[in-house]
A = this chain, B = another copy of it.
């Protein structure tokens, strides 16, 4: 019943739309025209939709094909991010530009930034290391990486830093939860008293939450369930286990399509800055400066 489509076929569809010919799209992909023709037919059979209008001189996308092609392009963009990120992870050592990022930045922002940098300077090898915020600071200090990205609000004075993007933690519940129907914001004390699905202590998200609760005068959060990854927490919330507090970067898509609902909370500030960090005093040059520039522009 599932039947996931083939990424090659999706790329072919996009290319057919751009080039106006199945054969030309085939050569662009380094394959032959009959193979491409069959792939298209197979994709159409799978989706049970007519996607291309085959005329005797060229092919055009049908209206349905246009729309599906756009959806396919979004898929391929995400795949591109995955491949870019994977390559950066791979060349962690002996890369020309070594970057360390905390999980939130690495998951949601780093592949885009690195991809843009590599489009500007093709052939540049970027190495990405993913750890927690304190480890990132240590890597920067020891010179093992040229540039770091952290979400932690407490930055030591011996390092230079610059804010590059904003993040915000959101209280999220599944659509069926009583809080989802509330019209008034949840009170801060109510949040502090409610058992939450949380990350383990020491993670950036958990720390930000605890700190914000303390700053607002509340007690520590009540753990309902403690999980080791953001996605695990997310899945637990979607499954209805209970509310959680997660980065909007992590649950943006879920909020947009309604798998999760955000609940506003009174009297509490859950914003946090995402900062670039590099060895103190030094001025960034070369690719490190370029990446910082890209990150600054990309974030609002």
> Which of A's residues lie within 8 Å of B, judged by CB?
4-8, 10-11, 14, 17-18, 47-49, 61, 63-64, 66-75, 77-79, 81-83, 85-86, 89-90, 103, 106-107, 111-113, 115-116, 119-120, 130-131, 175, 229-232, 235, 253, 256-259, 294, 297-298
Contacts and interface: CB of A to CB of B under 8 A. Distances in A.
Contacts of A85: 67-68, 71
Nearest to A77: B253
B73 A75 contact: no
Nearest to A258: B116
A69 B231 contact: yes
A63 to B, nearest CB: 6
Dominant SS among interface residues on chain A: helix
Nearest to A72: B82
Given A120-B175, A258-B298, A81 B74 contact: yes
Contacts of A111: 71
Contacts of A4: 7-8, 11, 79
Contacts of A116: 257-259
A298 B79 CA distance: 25
A17 B231 contact: yes
A116 B90 CA distance: 36
Contact of A78 (B78, B113, B256): B78
A83 B6 CA distance: 12
Contacts of A258: 112-113, 116, 119-120, 294, 297-298
Given A75-B82, A113-B257, A120-B175, 7 more contacts: A5-B83, A18-B235, A47-B83, A64-B89, A66-B229, A75-B78, A119-B259
Contact of A75 (B64, B70, B79, B297): B79
A8 to B, nearest CB: 6
A259 B119 CA distance: 8
A81 B72 CA distance: 9
Given A4-B8, A298-B258, A78 B67 contact: no
For the complex of A and B, 10 pairs with smallest distance between CB atoms = A116-B258, A112-B257, A71-B82, A4-B7, A75-B78, A47-B86, A70-B107, A74-B78, A116-B257, A64-B89
